[in-house]
């Protein structure tokens, strides 16, 4: 009967083509990480997996530069780190200031509102950083604000916000801080403890150079204290840190929470091992040096950057398309003829900008030279 309704099809194994990923993420993955991903699957409560998870926590503390005990992975992409931060910290009616100067700052505002916050927006023009003085003024006008949130590396525009300065203003006004470090972690300088960041979340597939699907996150003791003092339960069962932490915490016997993506844990573990081998400061320098090389090559062909050099991200480069350049057609040629992916602009930048990622394993001069050679053909 089924054969009469649905035509039989012959399905075969999927084989991915090789691409050079130079978009806003994911990045091209090192063979060591892919090899780690392919190891035999173990149960998510296997003692070897628990040992590996403890090592992941230790390495994430180094990557975030924090002593926070509550530093772990959320089993979903970076956007879930944003959700996790706000649903845990925000109670209905909490006044929250969100600084927004791009697509992902706007998303943070939406997430905060859905978590029940009364949101006050501090805005800056896309392509410009948030002015700490604007945040100061907003907090003076809203003295009952409890949380300040912002994106440290705005992926939509390639702007680097001054995390240290913004957190200092927030702390001086008695606020907790939530910082989006999705395009930051592993690629540029970031110091959770010294910069007074209470909650920071990131992703696995950018600066860490691993597979997509996991969100590193860290909570300060002040943030954990606010969560413990909630008058109502966290609205999300899955993201409630009171539920998930017993799976990650320092317990002799871990408590079941969910069936964790063990093979993805392998991959992140290996990418963190590689980051520890390279060293945080060396990784930051590599990203900066490769950006400078790329900027020189762009200048040679008359292409300009959207963001001023003083607050430009080295790992996420927004390049302005020249008049007459067909965005979609050129990106299609790069992809299909040369196997290179670059990212389109978001929001007002769509059709006007390219977002070129040089992050993680993908940040090297060989990749830049390959892109420049392909651009010489398509332009």
From-to residues of CATH 3.40.640.10 in the chain: 31-275
- The model's pTM: 0.96
Please tell me the distance from the alpha carbon of residue 356 to that of residue 232, in angstroms, as a whole number.
43
Buried b (16+ CB within 10 A) or exposed e, 258-274: eebbbebbbbbbbbbbb
Q: Which two tokens stand for residue 202?
A: 């990131």
Buried b (16+ CB within 10 A) or exposed e, 228-252: eeeeeebbeebbbbebbbebbeeee
Residues 6+ apart with CB under 8 A from 30: 209, 271, 274, 361
Over residues 59-92, the pLDDT tens digits come to 999 999 999 999 999 999 999 999 999 999 999 9
Give the residue carrying structure tokens 């070129």: 356
φ, ψ at 179 (rounded to 5°) = -125, 125
Q: How many residues in the chain?
A: 379
Give the pLDDT score at 216. Answer: 98
Q: What is the DSSP string of 120-140?
A: EEEE--TTSPPPHHHHHHHHH
Measured CA angle at 217 (ends 211, 219), to 5 deg: 170
Q: Which two tokens stand for residue 158?
A: 């390639």
Q: Which two tokens stand for residue 66?
A: 């924090």
Asked if residue 215 lies in contact with residue 261, where contact means CB atoms within 8 angstroms, the answer is no
Q: Average pLDDT for residues 179-197, to the nearest whole number?
A: 98
Give the pLDDT score at 69. Answer: 96
Residues 6+ apart with CB under 8 A from 272: 56, 59, 60, 63, 208
User: Is 292 a residue whose pLDDT tops 60?
Assistant: yes
User: ω before 274 within 30° of 0 (cis)?
Assistant: no
For 326, other C-beta atoms within 10 Å of its C-beta total 12
Asked if residue 368 lies in contact with residue 297, where contact means CB atoms within 8 angstroms, the answer is yes
Buried b (16+ CB within 10 A) or exposed e, 75-102: bbbbbbbbbbbbbbbbbeebbbbbbbbb
For 254, other C-beta atoms within 10 Å of its C-beta total 17
- Provide the CATH number for the domain formed by 20-26+279-378 in this structure: 3.90.1150.10
Over residues 4-21, the pLDDT tens digits come to 556 778 899 999 999 999
Q: How confident is residue 250, by pLDDT bands cut at 50, 70 and 90?
A: low
Please tell me the distance from the alpha carbon of residue 342 to that of residue 23, in angstroms, as a whole number.
4
Q: Can you tell me whether residue 109 is helix, strand or coil? A: helix
Q: Where do the DSSP E strands lie in the chain?
A: 20-22, 70-74, 95-100, 118-123, 147-151, 153-154, 159-160, 176-180, 199-201, 215-219, 304-305, 316-320, 340-344, 353-357
From-to residues of CATH 3.90.1150.10 in the chain: 20-26+279-378
Q: How confident is residue 251, by pLDDT bands cut at 50, 70 and 90?
A: low
C-alpha 59 chain-centroid distance: 17
Over residues 337-364, the pLDDT tens digits come to 999 999 999 988 999 999 999 999 999 9
DSSP state of 26: P
In the predicted model, what is the mean pLDDT of the chain? Answer: 96
Asked if residue 41 lies in contact with residue 167, where contact means CB atoms within 8 angstroms, the answer is no
Helix axes 163-172, 132-141, angle to 10 degrees: 20
Give the residue carrying structure tokens 């300088």: 189
Please tell me the distance from the alpha carbon of residue 31 to that of residue 190, in angstroms, as a whole number.
27
CATH class of the region 31-275: alpha beta
User: Is 233 a residue whose pLDDT tops 70?
Assistant: yes
Over residues 99-142, the pLDDT tens digits come to 999 999 999 999 999 999 999 999 999 999 999 999 999 999 99
Asked if residue 357 lies in contact with residue 23, where contact means CB atoms within 8 angstroms, the answer is yes
Of the candidates 198, 213, 200, 306, the one whose C-alpha atom is nearest the C-alpha of residue 260 is 213
């Amino acid at each position: 009967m089924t054969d009469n309704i649905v035509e039989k099809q012959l399905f075969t194994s999927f084989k991915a083509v090789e691409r050079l990923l130079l978009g806003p993420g994911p990045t091209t993955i090192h063979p060591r990480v892919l090899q780690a991903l392919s190891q035999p699957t173990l149960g998510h409560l296997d003692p070897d997996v628990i040992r590996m998870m403890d090592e992941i926590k230790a390495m994430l503390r180094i990557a975030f530069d924090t002593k926070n005990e509550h530093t772990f992975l959320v089993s979903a992409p970076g956007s879930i780190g944003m959700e996790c931060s706000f649903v845990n910290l925000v109670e209905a009616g909490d006044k929250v200031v969100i600084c927004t100067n791009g697509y992902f700052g706007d998303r943070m505002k939406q997430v905060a509102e859905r978590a029940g916050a009364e949101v006050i927006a501090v805005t800056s023009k896309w392509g410009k950083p948030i002015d700490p003085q604007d945040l100061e003024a907003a907090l003076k006008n809203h003295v009952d604000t409890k949380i300040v949130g912002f994106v440290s590396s705005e992926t939509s525009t390639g702007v680097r916000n001054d995390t240290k300065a913004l957190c200092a203003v927030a702390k001086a006004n008695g606020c907790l801080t939530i910082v989006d470090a999705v395009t930051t972690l592993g690629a540029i300088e970031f110091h959770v403890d010294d910069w007074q960041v209470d909650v920071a979340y990131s992703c696995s597939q950018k600066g860490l150079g691993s597979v997509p699907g996991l969100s590193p996150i860290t909570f300060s003791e002040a943030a954990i204290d606010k969560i413990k003092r909630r008058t109502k339960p966290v609205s999300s069962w899955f993201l409630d840190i009171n539920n998930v932490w017993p799976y990650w915490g320092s317990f002799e016997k871990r408590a079941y929470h969910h069936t964790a993506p063990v093979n993805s844990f392998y991959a992140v573990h290996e990418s963190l091992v590689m980051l520890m081998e390279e060293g945080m400061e060396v990784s930051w320098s590599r990203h900066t040096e490769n950006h400078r090389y790329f900027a020189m090559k762009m200048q040679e062909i008359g292409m300009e950057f959207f963001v001023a050099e003083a607050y430009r991200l080295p790992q996420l480069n927004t390049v302005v398309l020249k008049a007459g350049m067909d965005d979609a057609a050129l990106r299609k040629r790069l992809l299909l003829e040369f196997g290179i992916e670059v990212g389109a602009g978001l929001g007002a930048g769509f059709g006007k900008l390219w977002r070129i990622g040089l992050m993680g394993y993908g940040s090297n001069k060989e990749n830049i030279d390959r892109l420049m050679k392909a651009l010489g053909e398509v332009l």
